């Protein structure tokens, strides 16, 4: 009987998720909005008492015991067993784990609550926008459910129906559950901390009745960029999507610095445009030119700084604006190690990407999930190319259609938010997923989906590599479908010693650019010994010296490298009590923000490559 009830609940929940998603509103920064960041109240609810009744059925909307209900008692006879008040407060945005010791290892449900007032005009619509919440989210306003969302690292929004919104004292409740589950993405096993909570900004976004939901504008990738440069004529194209069809409307596209002002007629709920400009400075590391672009419809005006560039592969090369470019990368987790917390702010992005610039990187791999929007915006302005990925990581349930659907939704949400970021040059659809026919089909679908949603970028994934008698073989069948063949490799850390790299051979089945999406070794910051001593800074530096020598022997399709990883990061898989204590120590920078010796080894390598390319 019990089994039956749980199965019923699972079916019910998955049906309710299916109807939950609404199209993402993009360029939030340029819209009329009210921030809901700040202090919220919370209840920790490990048994899901606020959500399920004692027979494990989802509570009725008007159930007074549901935690989305305002607990203020109506009369003194009333029994209420929940409440939102001091001292149970928490900061938004922010993971819960770093805010109070009792949350450090917590995986389960936490209810967030706050009130707000809002005065809007009759002809305005109001959306509730979340930058990201990890992982499962149910949102309620004034006792009514607005929607649900699954996925910990992408933005989503729900429209607030007019009859639910009040001018004063709106009672907003967000249920967040970060339990890892077999059929979710990521799944049960991760090498990072499962930070829970409302980890990014929350805002009320106020838009006109008919409004621009999203738009894209980019350099037309089909043009021969060398001849565009010669002719000093560059083709730009784009689309604008409205929230609903309109009978007669004009969209204006303006780039004042290029003296461009064009008007286009909307057909139904969208319009496509293309035009030519001259004297365009292309976006590139070293010259990350951004133009202010304004998109207008009626009274509504959206402005944003946007760069224009072309990314492509040609045989064994990656070409940026028609010229071969070597990717001097570094992997980054969205974490500030000194505070043991998720990064979310502009300042955090400046800290992390500032370190990448110190390393003389021209590229960052944002591992292993889409990072907050500040990261890609700052990357745009600093001139760092970005690899952005969805958390299709290690073993997922590749058999499940629901899991595939979820992966596609996360991919779509990632692309919707960042499609106007020139810095983003690679979408990655997964990391080290175990080879099987089913998995390859699954991943292939994601690659096709990514191309269908956005054909202005490259697609990759960290593929599987295997070693036979000292030869690394890259023949993962997924390599046939990615634009770049990428692998993670740890010779001298997970097998052998660093100098084994001297005799290692590489065989790559695919005639495509080859990228090392990870390589690294652990070292505890400040621990010094001779170079053969594990965990010493010297060992890690030696590891990279040998790796660099090996890289220099790579065939000419070697197009770049992203060492693992910029900073030490938290991981419950790392339990060596002397050197790890819950930290993955492969950072080039330690948990106090100090650069380890290996940082300088890589910096020298990147300086050398840069000097060679100039
Ligand atoms: C990998 C994974 C990464 C791990 C890293 C490690 O291959 O992609 O998530 O953290 O190795 O440190 O073992």
Ligand 1: centre distance to CA 191 (Å): 7
403 and 508 in a single domain? The answer is: yes
Ligand 1: centre distance to CA 586 (Å): 9
Closest C-alpha residue for ligand 1 atom 10? 191
Q: What is the per-residue pLDDT for 14?
A: 36
Regarding the beta carbon of 483 and ligand 1, being less than 6 Å apart is answered no
Judge contact between 515 and 327, C-beta under 8 A.
yes
Regarding the beta carbon of 580 and ligand 1, being less than 6 Å apart is answered no
Between CA 308 and CA 420 the distance in angstroms is 9
Q: What is the per-residue pLDDT for 77?
A: 97
Regarding the beta carbon of 431 and ligand 1, being less than 6 Å apart is answered yes
For residue range 286-345, what is the model confidence (pLDDT) as tens digits? 999 999 999 999 999 999 999 999 999 999 999 999 999 999 999 999 999 999 999 999
Encoded tokens for 374: 């500040």
Does residue 14 sit within a domain?
Answer: no
69 and 131 in a single domain? The answer is: yes
Which atom, in ligand 1's list, is nearest to the CA of 569?
10
608 and 500 in a single domain? The answer is: yes
ipTM of the complex, rounded to two decimals: 1.00
Q: What is the per-residue pLDDT for 248?
A: 87
Between CA 534 and CA 521 the distance in angstroms is 9
For residue range 206-254, what is the model confidence (pLDDT) as tens digits? 999 999 999 999 999 999 999 999 999 999 999 999 999 998 899 999 9
415 and 544 in a single domain? The answer is: yes
For residue range 354-386, what is the model confidence (pLDDT) as tens digits? 999 999 999 999 999 999 999 999 999 999 999
Encoded tokens for 515: 């990228």
Does residue 217 sit within a domain?
Answer: no
Which residues, including other chains, have CB under 8 Å from residue 15's CB and lie 6 or more apart?
none
328 and 291 in a single domain? The answer is: no
Q: In a mutational test of the pocket of ligand 1, which residue from 518, 566, 567 has the highest number of ligand atoms less than 8 Å from its CB? A: 518
357 and 466 in a single domain? The answer is: yes
Pairing of strands 471-474, 505-508: parallel
Does residue 246 sit within a domain?
Answer: yes
DSSP letter assigned to residue 361? -
452 and 544 in a single domain? The answer is: yes
Please return the burial class of 297, using the count of CB atoms within 10 Å of its CB with bins 0-12, 13-18 and 19+: buried
How many structural domains are present in the chain?
3
299 and 317 in a single domain? The answer is: no
Question: Which ranges of 320-387 would DSSP assign to H, the alpha helix?
Answer: 346-358, 373-382
Residue where the block lists tokens 């390393």: 359
Q: What is the per-residue pLDDT for 605?
A: 98
Whether the predicted pLDDT of 139 surpasses 60 = yes
For residue range 15-52, what is the model confidence (pLDDT) as tens digits? 333 334 579 999 999 999 999 999 999 999 999 999 99
446 and 584 in a single domain? The answer is: yes
Ligand 1: centre distance to CA 211 (Å): 43
Q: What is the per-residue pLDDT for 614?
A: 62
For residue range 461-498, what is the model confidence (pLDDT) as tens digits? 999 999 998 899 999 999 999 999 999 999 999 999 99
Between CA 84 and CA 71 the distance in angstroms is 8
421 and 524 in a single domain? The answer is: yes
Q: What is the per-residue pLDDT for 470?
A: 87
Which tops the pLDDT comparison, 494 or 6?
Answer: 494
CA atoms 463, 488, 506, 467: torsion sign: negative
268: containing domain: 222-309
Does residue 446 sit within a domain?
Answer: yes
């Amino acid at each position: 009987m019990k089994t039956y009830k749980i199965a019923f609940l699972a079916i019910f929940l998955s049906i309710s998720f299916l109807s939950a998603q609404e199209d993402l509103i993009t360029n939030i920064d340029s819209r009329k909005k009210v921030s809901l960041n700040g202090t919220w109240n919370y209840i920790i609810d490990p048994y899901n008492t606020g959500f399920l009744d004692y027979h494990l059925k989802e509570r009725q909307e008007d159930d007074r015991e549901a935690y989305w209900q305002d607990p203020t008692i109506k009369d003194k006879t009333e029994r209420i067993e929940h409440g939102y008040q001091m001292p149970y407060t928490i900061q938004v945005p922010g993971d819960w784990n770093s805010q109070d010791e009792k949350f450090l290892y917590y995986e389960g449900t936490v209810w967030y609550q706050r009130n707000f007032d809002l005065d809007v005009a009759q002809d305005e619509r109001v959306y509730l926008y979340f930058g990201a919440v990890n992982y499962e989210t149910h949102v309620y306003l004034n006792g009514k459910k607005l929607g649900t969302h699954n996925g910990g690292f992408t933005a989503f929004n729900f429209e607030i129906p007019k009859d639910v919104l009040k001018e004063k004292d709106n009672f907003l409740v967000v249920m967040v559950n970060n339990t890892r589950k077999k059929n979710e993405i990521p799944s049960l096993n991760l090498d990072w901390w499962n930070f829970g909570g409302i980890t990014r900004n929350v805002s009320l976004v106020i838009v006109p009745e008919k409004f621009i939901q999203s738009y894209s504008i980019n350099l037309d990738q089909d043009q021969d960029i060398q001849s565009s440069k010669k002719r000093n004529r560059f083709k730009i194209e784009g689309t604008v999507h409205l929230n609903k069809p309109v009978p007669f409307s004009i969209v204006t596209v303006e780039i004042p610095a290029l003296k461009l002002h064009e008007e286009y007629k909307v057909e139904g709920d969208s319009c496509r445009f293309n035009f030519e400009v001259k004297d365009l400075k292309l976006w590139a590391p070293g010259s990350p030119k951004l133009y202010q672009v304004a998109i207008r419809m009626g009274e509504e005006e959206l402005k944003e700084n946007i760069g224009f560039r072309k990314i492509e592969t040609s045989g064994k090369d990656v070409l940026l604006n028609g010229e071969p470019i070597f990717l001097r990368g570094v992997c980054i987790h969205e974490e500030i190690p000194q505070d043991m917390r998720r990064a979310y702010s502009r300042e955090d992005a400046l800290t992390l990407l500032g370190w990448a610039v110190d390393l003389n990187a021209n590229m960052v791999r944002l591992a292993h999930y889409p990072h907050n929007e500040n990261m890609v915006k700052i990357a745009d302005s600093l001139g760092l190319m970005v690899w952005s990925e969805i958390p299709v990581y290690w073993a997922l349930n590749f058999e499940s259609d629901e899991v595939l659907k979820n992966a596609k939704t996360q991919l779509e949400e990632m692309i919707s938010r960042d499609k106007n970021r020139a810095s983003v040059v690679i979408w990655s659809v997964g990391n080290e997923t175990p080879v099987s026919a089913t998995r390859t089909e699954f991943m292939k679908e994601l690659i096709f989906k990514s191309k269908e949603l956005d054909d202005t970028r490259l697609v990759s994934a960290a593929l599987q590599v295997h070693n036979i008698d000292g030869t690394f073989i890259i023949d993962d069948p997924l390599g046939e479908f990615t634009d770049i063949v990428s692998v993670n490799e740890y010779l001298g850390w997970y097998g052998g010693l660093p100098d084994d790299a001297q005799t290692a051979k590489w065989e790559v089945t695919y005639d495509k650019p080859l990228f090392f999406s990870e390589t690294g070794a652990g070292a505890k910051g400040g621990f010094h010994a001779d170079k053969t001593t594990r965990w010493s800074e010297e060992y890690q530096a030696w590891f990279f010296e040998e790796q660099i020598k090996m890289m220099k022997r790579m065939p000419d399709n070697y197009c770049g490298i992203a060492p693992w990883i910029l900073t030490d990061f938290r991981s419950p898989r790392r339990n060596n009590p002397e050197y790890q204590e819950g930290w993955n120590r492969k950072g080039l920078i330690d948990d106090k923000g100090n650069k380890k010796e290996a940082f300088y080894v890589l910096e020298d390598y990147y300086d050398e490559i840069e000097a060679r390319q100039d």
